[in-house]
Each structure stands twice: as structure tokens, then as C-alpha cells.
A and B are shown apart, each in its own frame.
Chain A
Amino acid sequence: MRRSARFRAAAVAVAGIALASCSTEAHRASGGRPVELRLAIGGESEEGYDPTLGWGRYGSPLFHSTLLARDADLNIVNDLATRYEVSPDRLVWTVDVRADAKFSDGRPVTARDVAYTFTAASKSGGATDVTVLREAVAVDEDTVELRLTKPQSTFVNRLVSLGIVPEHAHGPDYARKPVGSGPFVFEQWDEGQQLIVRRNDAYYGAKPAFERVVFVFTGEDASLAAARSGQVDLAALPSSLATGEIPGMRLTRVESVDNRGIAFPFQPDEGRRTDEGRPIGNDVTSDLAVRRAVNVALDRRALVDGVLNGFGRPATGPVDGLPWHEPATAVPDDDPEGAKRVLEAAGWVDADGDGVRERGGRRAEFPLLYPAGDSVRQGLALAVADMLKPIGVAVTAQGESWEVIRTRMHADPVLFGWGSHDATEMHNLYSSAQAGVELWNPALYRSPVVDAELDAAMAAADPGQAAAHWKAAQRQFGPGADAAWAWLVNLDHTYYADACLDLGKLQVEPHGHGWPITRGIAGWSWTC
């Protein structure tokens, strides 16, 4: 008797839950084209949606429009700007702003708002770097001058990523109530759960096909669950979870420059230490022959297939697939015989027959550090050790905390991951000026040729000229010349998308996962 009562109570509770969840199915079951899109791609900006603090630097700032934009091939195109030019001394960027743009509160977007946005961002201490700006001035109704303290070609990335905020509405609550001139209007944000945005019908550009877009901020497991139960139309998942079929969805792989590579300590070990007491130098990897041999011996295709389950592509450098990438730097790999010849020519021979070469009493061996707990990097490190054993180079894969890696990275090779749409990163990884600063140029690589090219690229007048210098730098630090790093793989980012959802042409994505896919969100369409 008592037992059956308890069962009945449970059944009622379960039925209640089932009824309540019916409402979540409504957007699909109604038939026809959905007017609402639901995405589980992460990317919640916990501090709010203020571009001057860094919101929108990946993907689309949604509520805001930017002066320029990158198309699917990463070329720079106009957005809010109708034209921009850089002065001959490269210190003044003059931007013409279109006159028909309006903020979602109805007020027009003026040159003053643009100037205000850049000034605010340069002082904000947020996650977007506008420190090179000296001042931003609205010279007339639709023209802004951005005056820099020094030439910087990568400043164009700020014009691409910094959403324009209205001066009249940019107060303390702005990050939680953003007003902008982008394709969508902020509707509701349930912190930690979801962001609901509405189509901006007053938007000057092509209007999105969906009236509303809901971003659900779930963890990986819940995202997978949401995709499987049909509650979202697009879910970003790590490739380890992107196995198996989901009915009605297709697996979309997006190429990325989210790379992994080995930084070889470039200095010989002369017993020197940094100011913090960290050891500098490695007598094995400071030898050009060793670095080249490693680059030649590795089978990058096998790394992609074996460690990434095929979700990736071999890496030739730090910027694969970006407009400033130099494909000619790639060397033929999977060539152990070639690697052996390089080592032998440099005097590395296995005299004692233990399988490891030596030269002048120094064994060809080194540890390879990776952050413990990162299973992809662990797999790569172990595979690299296996691939180098046959050529007589002994590698020990060692998982360590970042704290330990920081203290050893000038003396031992480390498996890093980078990748950005902002070429500043390449400068930071290879410039001798950034040697030992933070995690940049951890190997303390120094090359006057590369420094000159990087500086020239930073000071270049336009993206095309800058690209020429970026490419020249790659030819020098790449595996055919200094072989400063051994780049291994670029990861693919994996998404499950509704079979009816057309995402258009997708960009090569930067390091980090999720939000970059929203770049073309205004152009997404429903095909069935």
C-alpha cells in the first residue's frame, strides 16, 4: 500500500518533467523553416558584452559593427568603414565611416562614436590591445583619424575586431545592456546559461535569415547531450567527442591554425641563467643539424591520423592557411634516411652502438615537456619520441605543470600550441625583443635577419606589404633554414550542425574553439 503510493508520486513527478520539457521542442516540431537558431558553441563573455574590454575579438561581436571585417578567405573588407588609408609615415589611419548606420536605440553612428570607442579601448585594461594608439580624433561628421605612437601594420586587426560603442550610452551598466549597430540586438542574458539575441531590422548590412538566435552556454558533455536530444542546431565539441552519428546532424570540420609545435632551445648551454635564475641553453637542440633532422624525420601525416584521429592537418609553420603564410617553407618529412644523413654530416654518430648518436661525448638526447593533463599533447610527445628513436635521437616525453615548464623552457624543448588571426603573434614568437618575455619566444631564438623582417612587417603600410615581410621571416626561421621550431599539426575544430543549416564558407579558425565560427552568422541560412 505504502509502496504503491510512493510509486504513484514518482510517476506524477516524471510526467510533470516530461510536460515541461515539451516546450523546448517547439521550435523544431512546428514544421517549416525555423525562425530561431540555437547554438551550443561556448564563448560566454562572463564580464559582459563591452567591446572596449575585449568582447567580439573572436568571431562576430553580434550587437556591434566593426570598421572592417575579414571575409571567409581572411581578406580585409569594409564594414562600417567605406574607406581607410594609412599616411605615408604610417602613423595616422584615416577612416571614412558610412552615414546610414544607426545604433539600436535609433541614434546615428558618428565619427565621434568611433573615436570615443578607440580611446576608451586604449585605456580600458581589457583583453584587446590598443596601446599603440596615441589619440583618436573625429575630424568631421564621417571621418576619424587614429593617430599612433609608432607604425604598426597589425593595428588593422583592431579595426577588424573592435566593435563600435555609442558614446552616449557607454556607462557602467553597458557590458550588461549593450547597444550597438550590428546585425543583432541584445535581448536577454541569463548568466551562465544562455544569451538571446534578436535580429536588428535597422541593420545597414545584409539581414540575418533568423529572427532570433539563442546561444546556450553548456559544458562539453551537456552540449553533446543537447545535440543528441535535438535541442540545439549547432554544437561545438572537441574532436574526442566527435565520434558517432547524431541523427539529423552532420559533422562539420573547420580547418584551424590552432597549432602544436616544439620550441627548440636555440642557445648552447654555457651555464647562463635568466634574472629569475632559470637555466638557459641546450647543447643538443642548439645544433642546427639536430633541429633540421627532427623536422625532416617526423611523419606529420601519421601524427594527424594517429593522435588526432584524422581531425587536423600537418603543420608547416605557425600561421598555416592565413594570408601571410609562406607555403614554400615546408620541407619533405617522413624521411628518416635524410635525417640520418644530416646528423652524420654534422658529426653525430652512434660510436658505442647503443642506438643513440653522440658527438664529442654529448648524447643526442633531450626531454620533451608538455603540460600534463593535455591528452593531445601527451599523445604527440610520445609519438614524436617514437619517430625519432630510429634516427638515433633519444626523446623522453615529460608531462609537467606550466609552472615547471616556465622554469625549464629556455633549456628544454616544449610542446606549445598557438594560432591567431593577428600576425602580432608571429612577431611575439620569433622576435629577439620578445625572448623570454612571458611564454613568447621561449627558445630565446635570435636572428638579425628575422628581426629585421618582423620589424619591417610591423611597420609596413598595408597588409600586402606586411605579408611579404612576414613570408620572408618564415623562410628564415622555417625548417629549411634555421628550423627554430618543429611545427607538428594544426587541429581541426569539430561541430555538429543540423543537416539543414548552411554555414556558408568558413574561415581558418584561430586557437580556441567555438566563437570564431560566428563570423559569418548573419549569412547563415536554412536549406530544407
Chain B
Amino acid sequence: MELDVLTAGSAARPVVVAVAARVSRLLLLLTAVAVGSFVLMVNSPVDPVAAYVGADVASLGSAQRALIAERWGLDDPAHERFLSWFGNLLGGDFGFSLTFNRPVLEVIGDKFLTSLALMALAWLLSGLVGFALGLVAGTRRGRFADRAITWFSYTLASAPTFWVGLLLLYVFAVSWNWAPVCCAVPIGVPADEVGLGDRLAHLALPAITLSVVGIAPVVLHTRQAVVEALASDHVAFARAQGERGLGLVLHRVVRNAAAPALLLQFGSIGELFGGSVLAEQVFSYPGLGAATTAAALGQDVPLLLGIALFTTVLVFTGNLVGDRVHAALDPRSRLVDVRRKR
């Protein structure tokens, strides 16, 4: 009884401290990202007014340029613009996107919902396919299946996302006419007539393209973990007791192999976002990636900063969850953590 109270007390304090440490680390990170992104954007060679106006820039007089600059607040010194933006941010106001003529939060919310379907599907695909292939390769080490899967993974790892996208687009949409060439909804169909099947059909190619980013590392790490697990004492012991084949892999190996795969999967959310910028561009898929491109080309500073902060939180959360899940699956990593802290 006494012991329980003691352990409960000593456990609770570190949890609070750990959460506080994480939160303050996130806040520091966000501030650094905001300052860094802002400095980069202010020093970018893109002239925001020219980017906004487009091709007809030479027919605009200087008075109109001044009006635009005033509407955009470009006249104020950079540090004042940053501080006023930051002040508004603390009050919960993310500013106004000039590219989309809407509040930044609305734009991010809208676009992220579209991207979420794409990224989640791609994430699941790459995780499941990668893990399955890794298991097969690991258990068939040195055999044909292993060599084929490893070769496939290296090919994927070195293939640029947009190139894979173009290839899929060409084969499935243009040559065979099986898949739509673009967009998240069918061309020319009123919004209320768009069904779930339509949406899935439009999601398939971009999601497959995007999942390619994540498959290779999961395959290779899973394969390594499987190989290690198969060589370990506990598997040798199970074998000695007569366990064989699928049962052995499912009961003795999968859990060990899943830990690094999950850690990688959660850690790859940043890359997933980077890949979505390209995949969405190729398939004209109107998500956060496409919005990022539009904002960057148009020097839409408030929107870019908003997206930078949003993705920071996303990646940070992904890594955090990955750590926790990894620790839960593989208690040894927790021991390492504890040892390091002391």
C-alpha cells in the first residue's frame, strides 16, 4: 500500500514535467520556424506585387502598385510586419491569405481536409504494403522473393514522386483510360451528385503515388528487424520447441518487426507532406500541397507562415506518437530513454 502511493507520486511528477517539457519544446520550435520562414520569405527574390499581378505587370502604374502594397502591408519595415503578425497570432488571428482572398485558417482547414484523405490513404498503403513486403523479404532472406523486393524498394527509394505520378497518370489515365486524369471530383458534375465512389476513384492514383515515398524505408527496416528477430535466442528457442513457418513469424517476429516500422511511419509524416506537394501538383489535387505551391509562387506570406506552423505541429505530433508507440511495443527502447535521463 505504502509502496503504491510512493510509486504513483513519483510517476506523476515526471509525467507532468515531461509534458511541460514537450510543450515548451514545441513552442520554441514554432517560434524558430516562424522567424526562420519569415526571414526566408522577406529575402526571397520573388516580387510579391509582380507575382500577384502576373503577366500584365508592365501596364500597371506606380500608383496602383502603391495601392496593392498598401493593401498587403508591404510598406512597413519587415520587423514591424512580423511583430504585428505575431501579435495577431497570439490573439488567435492567423491573418488573411491574399492568394485565396480568405482568412488563412479557413484556407488551411479546407485544404487540409482534402489532403487528409489523400495523406491518410497513402500513409496506410505505404505502412501496410511496406510492412508486408518487409516481412516476406526478411523471412525469405537471400531467396528470390527477398532479392526482388529489395530491388523494388531501392528503385522506389530513388524514384522522384512526380515522376512516378506522371508514369501512373500516363499508363492508367491516358493509355488505358481507367482512372481520371485530375482533381478530387469528376469533371463537370454538380457537387451534390458526387458520390463516395467518385471520390475514391479520384483518390486512387495520387494516393498510390504518394505512398511510394514511404514504402521503401519501411520495407528495408522491417526486413532488417525480421532478420535480427529470426536470429535471436527466443526464436531459436521457439524453433527448438517445434514452431515453424507462418506461426513462428506471426507469434515471435511480428511484434519485434512492427516497432521500427511504426516509428518510421509516424516519423515520415513530414516527408508525406513534402510528397503531397508534388503529387497534388501532378494530379491537380486541390489540397494543402497545391495551396503551398500557390502561396509560395505568389509570395503569400501569411498563408505560407500558417502552413509552416501547421505542418510543424503535424510533424512534431507524428514524431511524438511514433516515439510513444515504439516505446509501448518495444520496452527496451524505454529503458534506453530512462538510462539516458540519468
A323 to B: closest C-beta gap in Å? 16
User: CA–CA, A403 to B47, complex, Å?
Assistant: 9
The interface size of chain A toward B, counting residues with CB under 8 Å, comes to 75
- Residues in A neighbouring B138, C-beta threshold 8 A: none
A230 to B59, alpha carbons, bound, how many Å?
A: 38
- Assembly CA distance A18 to B187 (angstroms): 15
Considering only residues 1-36 of chain A, those with a C-beta below 8 Å from chain B are 13-14, 16-21, 23-24, 27, 36
Give complex CA distance A216, B291 in Å: 17
- In the complex, the chain A residue whose C-beta lies closest to that of B176 is A18
Label chain B's interface by main secondary structure: helix
In chain B, positions 120-174 with a C-beta closer than 8 Å to chain A are 166, 169-170, 172-174
CB–CB A221/B282 < 8 A: yes
User: Which of B65, B181, B186 makes the CB contact (< 8 A) with A229?
Assistant: B181
Q: Which B residues are in CB contact (< 8 Å) with A175? A: 101
A228 lies within 8 A of B174 (CB): yes
**Interface pair B58/A425, CB less than 8 Å apart:** yes
Given contacts A17-B204, A48-B101, is CB(A127)–CB(B286) below 8 Å? Answer: no
**Contact: A222 with B56, CB < 8 Å?**
no
CB-CB under 8 A for A196 and B188, given A21-B178, A216-B182, A218-B181:
yes
Question: A403 CA to B266 CA in the complex, in Å?
Answer: 39
From A221, A401, A511, contact of B166 by CB (8 A): A221
Name B286's closest neighbour in chain A (CB-CB).
A192
Whether a CB of chain B sits under 8 angstroms from the CB of A212 is yes
B101 & A47 in contact (Cβ 8 Å cutoff): yes
- In the bound complex, do residue A422 and residue B56 qualify as a contact, i.e. CB atoms below 8 Å apart? yes
Contacts of A438 in B (CB 8 A): 47, 50, 57, 62, 65
- Bound-state CA distance A124–B55 (Å) is 19
Stretch at the interface among A65-73, A183-191, A387-395, A473-481: A183-191
Which residues in chain B, 68-126, are within 8 Å of chain A measured between CB atoms?
Answer: 68, 70-72, 98-101, 110
Interface string of A147-169 (1 = CB under 8 A from B): 00000001001000000000000
Q: How far, in whole Å, are A438 and B61 apart by their CA atoms in the complex?
A: 10
- Known contacts A17-B178, A194-B183; is-contact A57 B197 (Cβ 8 Å): no
Contact across chains for A20 and B197 when beta carbons are under 8 A apart: yes
Interface centre among A50, A222, A429 (most CB of B within 10 A): A222
Known A-B contacts A21-B180, A175-B101, A425-B58; A193 and B204 likewise in contact (beta carbons under 8 Å): no
Further contacts, 9 of them, CB under 8 A, given A46-B100, A46-B298, A193-B284:
A17-B178, A18-B178, A27-B188, A48-B101, A154-B59, A192-B284, A219-B281, A229-B174, A418-B58
Q: Hey, which bits of chain A sit against chain B, CB under 8 A? A: 13-14, 16-21, 23-24, 27, 36, 38, 46-48, 50, 53-54, 57-58, 123-132, 154, 157, 175, 187-188, 190-194, 196, 212, 214, 216-219, 221-222, 225-226, 228-232, 401-403, 418-420, 422, 424-425, 428-429, 437-440, 510-512
B-side residues, CB < 8 A to A, are 45, 47, 50, 52-65, 67-68, 70-72, 98-101, 110, 166, 169-170, 172-174, 177-191, 197-198, 200-201, 204, 281-287, 290-291, 294, 298
22 contacts between A and B (CB under 8 A): A38-B187, A48-B101, A54-B53, A124-B67, A125-B70, A126-B68, A131-B61, A131-B67, A192-B287, A216-B183, A217-B284, A222-B182, A225-B173, A226-B182, A230-B177, A419-B55, A424-B61, A425-B58, A437-B62, A438-B57, A438-B65, A439-B57
